[in-house]
Amino acid sequence: MSGGRDARRDGNRRMALRLSVVALAMFGFGYALVPFYDAICRALGVNDLVKADARPANTQVDASRTVTVELDANAHHLPWRFRPLVRRVTVHPGELAAVEYEIANMRGRPVTAQAVPSYGPARAAPHLRKIECFCFTQQTLAAGETRRMPVVFVVDPQLPRDVHTITLSYTFFEVAGRGGAS
Amino acid sequence: MSAVVHDHSHGHEHGDHHGGYSGLMRWVTTTNHKDIGTMYLWFSFTMFLVGGVMALVIRAELFSPGLQIVDPDFFNQMTTMHGLIMVFGAIMPAFVGFANWLIPIQIGAPDMAFARMNNWSFWILPFAALLLILSFFAPGGAPGVGWTLYAPLTVQMGAGMDFTIFAIHLLGMSSIMGSINIITTILNMRAPGMTLMRMPLFCWTWLITAYLLVAVMPVLAGAVTMTLTDRHFGTSFFNAAGGGDPVLYQHIFWFFGHPEVYIIALPAFGVISQIIPAFSRKPLFGYASMVYATTAIAILSFIVWAHHMYTVGMPVTGQLFFMYATALIAVPTGVKVFNWVATMWKGSLTFETPMLFAIGFLFLFTLGGFTGLVLSMVPIDIQLHDTYYVVAHFHYVMVAGALFAAFGGVYFWLPKWTGRMYDETLGRIHFWLTMIFFNITFFVQHFSGLAGMPRRIPDYPLMFETWNNISSIGAFGFALSQLLFLYVVLKCIRSGAQAPEKPWEGADSLEWTHLPTPAPYHSFDPQPVLELEERP
């Protein structure tokens, strides 16, 4: 009887060990979901807010329409002064446009931050193509530094005809733990 | 609930597992599965009362529009803690309590496979609960982020959030250890003759639940660990500025969260599958199909998570996939419901309290399943997302599902546990009060939800007042009815009539056929050799 009990105890221990390995692997799986999610988003073309867009295939300027692009700027819990140099620009679809933003770091030490764009109306988002943008990289500003940065974009002629105004809004978020952030 | 159990079998030749302790130390040091099961059940009932009081704060505030009783921050803390405590503190430990008590005596094992680890799995819980409660006293109070702990709100909360994260870690460890114990016990400790396909269905549902727990609790632990490092160690998993994504949190959380729904529901299915045949005096209809349906539900639960997040802006192909996969779960769930109904068909039914709760479960859980099917449809869900319709839906499956099954199970096994009968009249009154007040509380929430009332909001437009009046009255009635439950259980333990050897003539699993009533402190040592009939 006691021999049988020892064999069973060994069997139980092996089982517990195997299940613990499964539990540990699943903890790792939770972390593996991070790059997996990234790859899925890239494959499906969603969530690529801070990467350069391809220029529209049709480069014909549609002079028959004009679209107003309103520019907006916010800093989220960040001691930065952040503003566009012009409030709005009027462009023809297909026409290359360039605007400038100004940021100034009001804090007494360097700060790193990342701008994240958003669009209104949301269905205009795929049609406002950013060729060049300060939001493609993190920005580090020294204490008191002021910087002017360009955004170059094209409004795709595929834009639905009933959209006359697009709002392009940027929000700067501090990248915690980098560049002297708290 | 086993106050009288330890009077038995002290002279057993394999020694006494009390370890020489008595009083409180007996409970602290115990490795006996029956003691530990009892502690799990009392712990979960205590947490049920704590979470219930929080629900009453919510319902009191929502009795009329405007802000009367609590400020919005505290209201959010109440909804968050009510959810966390009910899910992790009340329902899950209740079914682990059932598992501890019943699995060894249903498969003919002397105890759980890892008796000391079992003690540890339980004793982690009070500390986790304490951490959750302590978070109210941290600067900024308890987290008011919702039980789903969504980023980026969690990254912005005060120190109470860290308390909660560590509490989740502890609860997760306890669950994983408990699950390893249950799987090992079921696979390695069955008595000779107890093949897997002869096991009572309760053991089957717990075997599958334990696998789900081992697979997904670590994922939740990972998600809250990422939140913790985002908060304090400069990572940016969920921080858009650092290249992270708050929607990623939702994916990871619901990869845990949807199987979690079945972690709660499957053991309840198991309890119901024991009760209905016993009071129908017929074997369970379609035993094998029940096992396969349970397995199918568990497997499908891994590929439907994003139906909780149709509105985050996922591609339409993704929405379609998750919609069809979710609707597919209705098939194995339907198999179960039909099997329970077919078990009752032409049975010689009696309606003692456990059976009343089982039938109440069957009726209300199916309603909750139907509203779940409604919510699985993308176009409807986008309309109903985060409304009281969702709140009504998940309370129909969590309260009328899991909680009713737990009540039914307590009434069913109380004679086996204590050797005494509960008061049948009071039990039935408890059932009817619970049934009526439950529906008063939650049925009207379907209507306020359809009309657009958002969840997790302390104030609301005047047009929702009537529904909320009714719902709040129901909630207070429901809560008071549960004090009657406490009284019935205490009365049974202290002065219940002596239970007959086999109080339910239709019950046919091992604990009824091979053990005396009450179950002795040490049972099935040495293990019996069983000659069981093949299942039909």
Instruction: Encode pLDDT of A28-73 as tens digits.
Output: 999 999 999 988 888 877 766 667 777 766 668 888 889 999 999 9
Token pair, residue B320, equals: 């379609």
- How long, in residues, is chain A? 182
pLDDT at A178 over 80: no
Q: B384-440: per-residue pLDDT in tens?
A: 999 999 999 999 999 999 999 999 999 999 999 999 999 999 999 999 999 999 999
Whether A169 and chain B come into contact, CB under 8 Å, resolves to no
pLDDT for res A55: 72
State the best of B239, B256, B527 to mutate against chain A, taking most chain A CBs within 10 Å.
B239
User: What are the counts of helices (DSSP H) followed by strands (DSSP E) for chain B?
Assistant: 18, 0
Q: Rounded to an integer, what distance in angstroms lies between the CA atom of residue B64 and that of residue B458?
A: 10
Starting at the earlier edge strand, list the strands of the sheet with A111-120: A88-91, A67-76, A165-174, A111-120, A139-141
User: Region B347-354: what's the mean pLDDT?
Assistant: 96
pLDDT confidence band for A3 (50 / 70 / 90): low
- Given A37, A44, A173, which is nearest B241 (Cβ)? A173
Shortest CA gap A64–chain B (Å): 33
Q: What percent of chain A has pLDDT over 70?
A: 90
**Residue with token string 């039938």:** B359
Token pair, residue B374, equals: 């409604």
Residue B89 DSSP one-character state = I
**Torsions phi, psi of A129, nearest 5?**
-100, 120
pLDDT for res B533: 67
State the best of B219, B228, B256, B320 to mutate against chain A, taking most chain A CBs within 10 Å.
B219
Residue B48 DSSP one-character state = H
Q: B105-124: per-residue pLDDT in tens?
A: 999 999 999 999 999 999 99
Beta-carbon contacts of residue B255 (< 8 Å; ≥ 6 apart): A30, A33, B216, B219, B302, B305
Active site residue B333: yes
* Cα–Cα nearest to B122, from B102, B147, B103, B94: B94
Cβ-Cβ pairs closer than 8 A, A with B, add up to 105
Active site residue B14: no
Burial class (CB in 10 A: 0-12, 13-18, 19+), B161: buried
CA triplet B303, B304, B310: central angle to 5 degrees? 135
Active site residue B326: no
B interface residues, A as partner, C-beta within 8 Å = 113-114, 176, 179-180, 183-184, 187-189, 214-223, 226, 233-237, 239-243, 245, 247-248, 251-252, 255, 313-315, 318, 526
DSSP for B379-415? HHHHHHTTBHHHHHHHHHHIIIIIIHHHHHHHHHHHH
pLDDT at B461 over 50: yes
Distances (CA, A) of B417 to B19, B113, B119: 22, 21, 19
pLDDT for res B439: 97
pLDDT for res B241: 66
pLDDT for res A58: 66
Whether A174 and chain B come into contact, CB under 8 Å, resolves to yes
Token pair, residue B532, equals: 């069981």
Alpha helices in B62-111 (DSSP H): 72-84, 92-107
- Given A33, A176, A178, which is nearest B251 (Cβ)? A33
pLDDT for res B98: 97
User: Region B246-270: what's the mean pLDDT?
Assistant: 96
**Residue with token string 């005096």:** B281
pLDDT for res B536: 53
pLDDT confidence band for A76 (50 / 70 / 90): confident
pLDDT for res B201: 96
Active site residue B273: yes
pLDDT for res A124: 87
Whether A43 and chain B come into contact, CB under 8 Å, resolves to no
More confident residue, B30 or A6: B30
pLDDT confidence band for B212 (50 / 70 / 90): very high
pLDDT for res A1: 46
Report yes or no: B34 and B44 within 8 Å, Cβ to Cβ.
Answer: no
H/E element, B278 = helix B246-280
How much is the ipTM here? Answer: 0.89
Chain B positions in Cβ-Cβ contact with residue A47 (cut-off 8 Å): 245, 247
Active site residue B281: no
CB contact under 8 A, B241 and A116: yes
pLDDT at B188 over 80: yes
Which region among B8-12, B39-43, B212-216, B442-446 has the lowest average model confidence (pLDDT)? B8-12
Q: A7-33: per-residue pLDDT in tens?
A: 888 999 999 999 999 999 999 999 999
* Cα–Cα nearest to A59, from A133, A161, A154, A182: A154
Active site residue B174: yes
pLDDT at B4 over 70: no
Buried b (16+ CB within 10 A) or exposed e, B497-531: eebeeebbebbbbbbbeebebbbbbbbbeebbebe
**What does pTM read for this prediction?**
0.87
Three-state SS at B107: helix
Alpha helices in A45-164 (DSSP H): none
Rg (CA), chain A: 25
Beta-carbon contacts of residue A64 (< 8 Å; ≥ 6 apart): none
Report yes or no: A131 and A52 within 8 Å, Cβ to Cβ.
Answer: yes
Report yes or no: A20 and A13 within 8 Å, Cβ to Cβ.
Answer: no
CA triplet B444, B446, B450: central angle to 5 degrees? 125
H/E element, B8 = none
Q: Rounded to an integer, what distance in angstroms lies between the CA atom of residue A146 and that of residue A124?
A: 31
Active site residue B175: yes
CB contact under 8 A, A175 and B176: no
pLDDT for res B15: 43
Which of B147, B305, B467, B512 is catalytic? The answer is B147
Q: Residue B363 forms beta bridges with which residues?
A: none
User: For all residues of chain A together, what is the average pLDDT?
Assistant: 85
pLDDT for res A182: 39
User: For all residues of chain B together, what is the average pLDDT?
Assistant: 92
Report yes or no: A97 and A131 within 8 Å, Cβ to Cβ.
Answer: no
Which chain B residue has the Cα nearest residue A20?
Answer: B180
Could you tell me whether strands A165-174 and A67-76 are parallel, antiparallel, or unpaired per DSSP bridges? parallel
pLDDT confidence band for B5 (50 / 70 / 90): very low
State the best of B111, B175, B189, B245 to mutate against chain A, taking most chain A CBs within 10 Å.
B245
Which of B8, B26, B455, B456 is catalytic? The answer is B455
- Given B184, B214, B241, which is nearest A114 (Cβ)? B241
Q: Rounded to an integer, what distance in angstroms lies between the CA atom of residue B234 and that of residue A148?
A: 28
More confident residue, B350 or A77: B350
Active site residue B465: no
CB contact under 8 A, A23 and B242: no
Q: Rounded to an integer, what distance in angstroms lies between the CA atom of residue B440 and that of residue B446?
A: 11
Which region among A77-91, B193-207, B382-396 has the lowest average model confidence (pLDDT)? A77-91
Q: Residue A67 forms beta bridges with which residues?
A: A91
Whether A63 and chain B come into contact, CB under 8 Å, resolves to no
Whether A119 and chain B come into contact, CB under 8 Å, resolves to no
Could you tell me whether strands A111-120 and A139-141 are parallel, antiparallel, or unpaired per DSSP bridges? antiparallel
**Residue with token string 């629900």:** B55
Q: Compute the 3-state secondary structure of chain A and give helix, strand, coil in percent, each to the nearest 5.
A: 30, 35, 35
Q: Rounded to an integer, what distance in angstroms lies between the CA atom of residue B185 and that of residue A9?
A: 11
Most confident of A29-33, A132-136, A143-147: A29-33
- Is the link from the previous residue into A121 a cis peptide, with omega within 30 of 0? yes
User: Region A62-86: what's the mean pLDDT?
Assistant: 89
pLDDT for res A180: 41
CB contact under 8 A, A23 and B189: no
Cα–chain-centroid distance for residue B286?
25
- In A68-87, the residues whose Cβ lies within 8 Å of chain B are none
**Residue with token string 């990869």:** B255
Could you tell me whether strands A111-120 and A88-91 are parallel, antiparallel, or unpaired per DSSP bridges? unpaired
Token pair, residue B169, equals: 């870690």
pLDDT confidence band for A174 (50 / 70 / 90): confident
- Is the link from the previous residue into B536 a cis peptide, with omega within 30 of 0? no
User: Region A119-137: what's the mean pLDDT?
Assistant: 87
